[in-house]
Structure 1
Amino acid sequence: MRSDSSQAFGALYADHHGWLRGVLSKKLGCRHRAEDLTHDTFLKVLANKAMQSLQEPRAFLTTVAHGLVVSLWRRQDLERAYIDALQVQGQTLHGSPEARAEAVQALVEIDELLDGLPPKASRAFLMAQLDGLTYAEIAEELGVSDRMVKKYMAQVMDKLLRRSN
């Protein structure tokens, strides 16, 4: 016997899967990506547990799917920037597709970490990590005090620690 939640999910999927796939296919212009994101949307809904009380299932599905589309576009932008940066440095894509995917995933995680932080905190972190600048050099570049740079770095580290727990 299936539980009420399994039945509710099954009905939601049966009633709206084709519709959502069509919406995403039009938005993305790619049937395969649309199918992947439709699948991912329903996986997120399945994990949500509030599914039985949905008053507007299509609005809910659209909201979840929209978040996934934005994440996809953001990831694609980061991947393009990574490839462009390699080309600017005169490098070509070396390594396996898995290694490139891991590099892009690391960039996505850094992007997510920095998202929501004040812009100067994000810039300070990137200057320290990517450019190897000292706090004094960062302070001069940002037009703030060394103490403020320490505060920015503490914000980043705090967010990093909270994220890893």
Structure 2
Amino acid sequence: MVTAGIYQKRPILNTPEKRTLVMKQLFESANHFGWRLQAWAVMINHYHFAALSPEDPSNLTRMISSIHKWTALELNRIDGMRGRRVWHNYRETHVTFQTSWLARLRYIHQNPVHHGLTDHAASYRWCSQAWLEQKANRAFVHTLSRIKTDRIHVADEF
């Protein structure tokens, strides 16, 4: 699981175009580096994703650097802010227990609700909840919807 934040928590991803740009780059980079996305959410000042790693997960830092470098250039071009620092940092968590994994998946899928952006995460375009509901087995979706997230500690003070 990865959480990445905008420098000084500024709401730089404040338009649909900008959130889409970050989400598309996340998809492209994950594919390029061999990470299989399982959940994602792009907010106005941070994003989360959970993915299954390739056999050698040591390329995560290069993948995140690629995402941040390209999106920073594009976001600054859009805003006319050449050289502005966009990304602050990222945190990664290697999850090995199934219950913890499921809780983090649910947390990410429901992140737009957590931040008060929508009442139904599936209606938030920059989140994986609708994808989950369309692609996953109904029993899995139901099981995931019952997983509690109150005991996980995700640094998400955005």
Q: Give yes or no for TM over 0.5.
A: no
Which structure has more helix as a fraction of its residues? 1
Q: Which has the higher strand share?
A: 2
Higher relative contact order (CA 8 A, sep 6+): 2
